[in-house]
Amino acid sequence: MPGDTRPIGVFDSGMGGLTVLRALCARLPNEHFVYLGDTARLPYGTKSPDTVRAYALQATHLLLSEDVKMVVIACNTASAVALDALREALAPVPVIGVIEPGARAGVAATRNKHIAVLATESTVKGAAYVHAIRRLMADAMVEQLACQVFVALAEEGWADTSVTTAAIKDYLEPLFAHPGAPDTLVLGCTHFPVLKAAIQRYVGDAITLVDSADTTAAAVAETLATSTLQTDISAAPRNIHFFATDSTERFARIGAIFFGREIDSGDVTLVDLKMV
């Protein structure tokens, strides 16, 4: 019914998905959220597809126990290998991943049909963005670039340092060293929005950066707007409940970098997903 005040569930293997939660909070000021970071078992990118699907099902089982009305997979690896399984298992609860919204936004933004995806090694290896982009634009030229060091830089909070600037230059300089370079960069890892401003400074304003966090938030907003799940504007002030599967103190400390605001460790509940 209209005015559905149940929370939206968001999960990731760790902290990066907090950039998605941050974008969701900005886009949907009246919605409530439950966020789960499976920090005890990160990174998902080194695990087999079967293992990631099992972890994702455990994560969403916890979210469902919190009576969520929608699930957002704020993890590129889980989006790539577990989206279909979760949609089948959780129906009729809507499930939205980060890859398809990012691909759609990249296709909409490009003028020369040349898109580069900046991601982790595991996402590049799986080529999920390449497949998603070419489903939408068959003649697109899609380059992938594994920028693994960006993850560590983001987790250190080094969004604007000489080390970060040097890493961006080393990764991206070859991409723009020839004619016909991409005009659109998709940030294909939920850690990377932390470095967005520094990347934009390096590539210049003529290059469009597609933030997977922002595009996922837009997809969630669109789904809510076309359903009966939207929270009424008169709902109570926002509530966010955090869960982590390892150190709540570290989750709060490092998570604040991605969420863009302080997180009180007392607001983070430690949970063992195997016991849920």
Beta strands in 8-167 (DSSP E): 8-12, 33-37, 70-73, 95-97, 114-119, 141-146
Q: Which of 233, 206, 202 is nearest to 118 (CA)?
A: 202
Q: What whole-number distance in Å separates Cα of residue 55 and Cα of residue 51? A: 6
Q: What whole-number distance in Å separates Cα of residue 142 and Cα of residue 139? A: 9
Q: Among residues 189, 203, 224, 268, which one is catalytic?
A: 189
147 part of the active site:
no
3-state secondary structure of 21: helix
Beta strands in the chain (DSSP E): 8-12, 33-37, 70-73, 95-97, 114-119, 141-146, 184-187, 208-211, 240-244, 268-270
Q: Among residues 15, 62, 75, 118, which one is catalytic?
A: 75
| Amino acid of residue 196 | K
Instruction: Report residue 172 CA to chain centroid gap.
Output: 21
User: What's the start-to-end Cα distance of the chain, in Å?
Assistant: 29
Instruction: Report residue 164 CA to chain centroid gap.
Output: 21
25 part of the active site:
no
Burial class (CB in 10 A: 0-12, 13-18, 19+), 46: exposed
The answer to whether 113 touches 141, Cβ cutoff 8 Å, is: yes
Tokens 């899609």 sit at which residue? 142
Q: Which of 120, 114, 129, 119 is nearest to 46 (CA)?
A: 120
Q: Name the residues annotated as catalytic.
A: 75, 189
